[in-house]
Structure 1
Amino acid sequence: MPAHTGPHRKVVADAVVSMDGYTGTGPDDDMSWAMEHITSEQSEIMYEGIWRGVSTAVVGRVNWEGFTSVWPGLVSDPASSARTRDLGNWLAVVDKVVVSTTLRQSDLDESPWTNARVCRDLEAEVRSLRAGPGRDILVLNSASVIKALLRADLVDELCMTVLPRTLGHGVRLLPDGLSSAWRLSHATTVPATGAVALRYHRP
């Protein structure tokens, strides 16, 4: 793996995982297994501490399609918390990189969300983003994207929230065969849901 050299924008990968290491049960997973945690007040507070320091978000196709179908409704729902609406409004306008081999730019332009572009070459895009101006770059719960960036040694911080349940099968967050060293920078529990949030950084 290439060594880290010089200052750059940090790439922060964030994901919710089961105790047995899965981020979901497969391509059609609706994340219902994790919603109790995702929508908890404590989770919102923790996540706000991450996205407030970010000026570029990176997502895969599945999450892009899922997010754009769900978040506009959450923002307009009067029952949503202020933090949920703030996050939804941020997602709608923040600089977004959508990693996909099938989506076209015109598909993204049809979304109510703005400031999004299709990315075909993930490594090249992230290397360019890291070298440019801006705040942190956040990879939003997209396992395939996180795996590729871990293999390329392009993740500076890895945030994993471990939920107290097993899925038994599905999509794993960490790639097979990867050897890497990390340091724990923060750990906290979410008593309401029994989750444990872990934040690691590269030495």
Structure 2
Amino acid sequence: MSESAPTKASRKVAADVVVSMDGYSSTGPDDDMSWAMEHILSEQTEIYYEGIWRGASTAIVGRTNWEGFTSVWPSMTADPNSSDRTRDLGNWLATVEKVVFSRTLEQADLGKTEWRNARIGTDLETEVRALKQTAGRDILVLNSASIIQALLKADLIDDLYLTIVPVTLGGGLRLLPDNYTSTWRIAAATTFPATSAVALHYQRP
């Protein structure tokens, strides 16, 4: 009796995002993240985040984060004063497969940066479903709230890494979409004594 061929496992989609205590991921159109920089740049955060990005072989970003990341990360990566983990992350960002979802950027715009291996995505839900069926490690959404909202609504996020920074912003872009209901289970919780932040890793049951 012949054995059936093993079924290829679907890749997981993980989303990593920093939010304020009142649930905002940025202050608005300018995407000011100064309120979170003390935490983002801390040594403990680097160690924690390394455990996430090393498990991913595809990164998904929106236009705002693409433009923000490519404006600062190449110089941080090349800076000899940057930590080894910062340079490692910078090299990963520069070379990992990247899908940029934007209504305004074109493929030629991506070629104007030092980063490579990036392409424009158009239909978010369709392309993420297709990526899940390809070979590779996790698919990681990098702090892009609008993309995370859309994927949550489509039930396409398997792991949510939610870091809560102890500040309130009073307004801006909320992470969770309105009228969105779901159930999750806690996989891990991490505290950051230096910045008083808390990271919660949730998984869909």
TM-score range, shorter chain: over 0.9
Shift of 1:36: 0.4
Give structure 1 stretches of 5+ with no counterpart: 1-5
Which residue matches 2:133? 131
**Runs of 5+ in structure 2 lacking a partner?**
1-7
The match for 1:92 among 94, 107, 115 is: 94
Q: Which amino acid aligns with 1:55?
A: S
TM-score by length of 1: 0.96
Regions of 4+ moved over 6 Å: none
C-alpha deviation, 1:29, in angstroms: 2.4
* Per-residue deviation, 1:35: 0.6
How many aligned residue pairs are there?
198
Could you say what secondary structure the match of 2:140 adopts? strand
User: Matched residues, percent identical?
Assistant: 69
CA–CA distance in 2 between the matches of 1:16 and 1:106?
30
Partner SS state of residue 46, structure 1: helix
What pairs up with 1:50-199 in 2 under 5 angstroms? 50-199=52-201
**Pair member with larger Rg:** 2
Q: Deviation per CA, 1:159-178: give whole Å up to 9, x if none.
A: 10000010000000111111
Q: How much has 1:7 moved relative to structure 2? A: 3.2
SS in structure 1 opposite 2:29?
coil
Cα distance between partner residues in 1 of 2:9 and 2:136: 12
Q: What is the distance in 1 between the residues matched to 2:12 and 2:142?
A: 14
CA RMSD of the aligned region, Å? 0.8
Residue aligning to 1:3: none
TM-score (norm. length: structure 2): 0.95
What secondary structure sits across from 1:133 in the alignment?
coil
Other-structure match for 2:26? 24
Q: CA deviation at 1:110?
A: 1.5
Counterpart of 2:9 in structure 1 is 7
Task: State the secondary structure of the residue aligned to 1:188.
Answer: strand
* Range moving further from structure 2, 62-71 or 23-32: 23-32
Distance in 2, Cα, partners of 1:63 & 1:22 = 16
* 1:81-133 Cα deviation digits (max 9, x unpaired): 11001000100000000010110000001211000000110001100000111
> Could you tell me how far apart the structure 1 residues matched to 2:133 and 2:179 are?
28
